[in-house]
Amino acid sequence: MPASPPLSSYRHDPTACEECDLLAPATLLAPGEVRHCERCGHVLTRNLPDQARRPIAYGMAAIIMFVLANSFTFMSFSAKGLGQEMTFLQCITTLVEEGYLFLGAVLSLTLIGLPLVYLGSIMLVLWRVDKQMHDKALRSLSRLLCRIQPWLMVDVFLIGVLISLVKLMGMAEIKMGLSFWAFVGYTLLLIKTISSLDRRWLWQRLFGPTEARELDPGMGAREAGLVNCHLCGALGEQGQHSCRRCGAYLHSRKPGGLARTWALLITSAILYIPANLYPIMDTVFLGDTSPSTILGGVVLLWSMGSYPIAAVIFIASVVVPLAKILALFWLCYRVQCGDGASPLGKLKLYRMTEFVGRWSMIDVFVVAILAGLIRLDNLMTIYPGPAAVAFSGVVLITMVAAMSFDSRLIWDLQQGERERE
């Protein structure tokens, strides 16, 4: 009788790659081992150390750090004998007070609401995994974890704080409060919480392995009459309405096809124009208002000698959004034209656009920080400009556009060309 695998080993379910649809039979993974797709190299699943307990510890520590980050002064600013202190929450409340409800809502969700929901859900799910908890509640919380993870932007906000610090150092004395250092800890612990858990392992731990299947590893799921669940990775039959394990809606390809991606891209391209033409912030100094566009801020930083920061802002706020829009336009066009050449090259381009998109929010966060901190009514005050709303719309809509694009369409074209040959 063969020896049973050690408890630290993990046999992942038969699944299909969510980026190219290639089937992957069940495989036993040793501790620390990662399973990649054999065709496109996408990470299918990982056997991370102590996944049942580490996320709980990191998550609890992150929540403690979040409480501390809201308990003390975040940053202080002093110039010409006048000073101003700012708490973390003032970044958001200032936007709301000035009538920028959309920006306030974006910051509230990406920095507070969604991260806390993520941390609470991940701890509750793992804590109750071996205890009695209603299956429907477990499925709902686990689906929520998978869906909100791309929208956690605490790390982007931290980079925005550092850029704001560089912008202000030339005009005033800046001090970082205790809350800033607690926020750094909160950011690092949140990243550790996310990176210490594999979602396919979680679904298998919660609801057990799926049925064993005989798979042809060189065949796509659609060719084999199967559908891969985009949330838990379980395989279902063609025509099956919902996943038997996680309850998510099953679709062989993302609904809406290219039409939804085209519509989102056109919307973001339209918003990109006012985002660069209108001022992203207005500086009132001794009664005089000085508007600043995104490019104007880059030029100012460059003239001050802050070349690395100017380059970061230029790349993140000008180059990346435009490049992402153009790259997705090109991918949609090539897929619609039926071009099946170089699928791996197209997929790498798509991965890059999907990864860098969220970092364009840096400039919006910088504006929020400066508006919350610099409130010296008789000397200098900074207000968000209309471009801040348009620019945040560009970033969020391009993120949704990248998520709505189905990279498996690229490989469908290659398969179609092989069949015609």
The domain spans of the chain are 51-208+245-250, 254-414
Retrieve residue 208's tokens.
């057990």
Asked if residue 60 lies in contact with residue 186, where contact means CB atoms within 8 angstroms, the answer is no
Looking at domain 254-414, which of 1.20.140, 1.10.3470, 1.20.1440, 1.20.120 is its CATH number?
1.20.140
> What's the CA gap between 169 and 112, in Å, rounded?
27
pLDDT (0 to 100) of residue 416:
55
Burial 350-377 (b: 16+ CB within 10 A, else e): bbebbebbbbbbbbbbbbbbbbbbbbbe
> What's the CA gap between 159 and 165, in Å, rounded?
10
| 256: nearest Cα among 403, 417, 152 | 403
Asked if residue 163 lies in contact with residue 313, where contact means CB atoms within 8 angstroms, the answer is yes
Residue-by-residue DSSP string for 80-144: TTEEEEE-TTHHHHHHHHTT-HHHHHHHIIIIIIHHHHHHHHHHHHHHTTTS---HHHHHHHHHH
Give all strands of the β-sheet with 173-176 in edge-to-edge order: 82-86, 75-79, 173-176
Retrieve residue 419's tokens.
């069949």
Quick one: CA dihedral 228, 229, 232, 236, positive or negative?
negative
Q: Helix or strand or coil: residue 43?
A: strand
Beta-carbon count within 10 A of 391 CB: 27
Asked if residue 146 lies in contact with residue 199, where contact means CB atoms within 8 angstroms, the answer is yes
> What's the CA gap between 396 and 368, in Å, rounded?
16
Retrieve residue 54's tokens.
């580490």
> What's the CA gap between 203 and 145, in Å, rounded?
11
Q: Which CATH architecture has domain 51-208+245-250?
A: Up-down Bundle (1.20)
Which residue in this structure is represented by tokens 């936007």? 95
Q: Rounded to two decimals, what is the model's pTM?
A: 0.87
> What's the CA gap between 229 and 241, in Å, rounded?
11
Q: How far is CA 223 from the centre of its chain?
A: 31
Q: Helix or strand or coil: residue 283?
A: strand
Helices and strands: H and E segment counts in the chain: 16, 15
pLDDT (0 to 100) of residue 377:
65
Quick one: CA dihedral 209, 214, 216, 222, positive or negative?
negative
Per-residue pLDDT of the chain (421 residues; tens, 9 = 90+): 344 344 577 888 899 999 999 999 988 998 889 999 999 999 999 999 888 889 999 999 999 999 999 999 888 877 666 777 888 888 888 888 878 888 889 999 999 999 999 999 888 888 765 556 667 777 888 888 888 998 999 999 998 888 888 777 766 778 888 999 999 999 999 999 999 999 888 888 888 888 777 777 788 888 888 999 988 888 988 888 888 888 888 888 888 778 999 999 999 999 999 998 998 887 776 667 777 888 887 887 787 677 777 887 788 888 888 999 999 999 999 998 888 788 899 999 999 988 888 888 888 888 888 887 777 666 677 778 888 889 999 999 999 999 999 999 988 887 655 544 4
- Same CATH topology for 51-208+245-250 and 254-414: the answer is yes
Beta-carbon count within 10 A of 325 CB: 22
pLDDT (0 to 100) of residue 287:
64
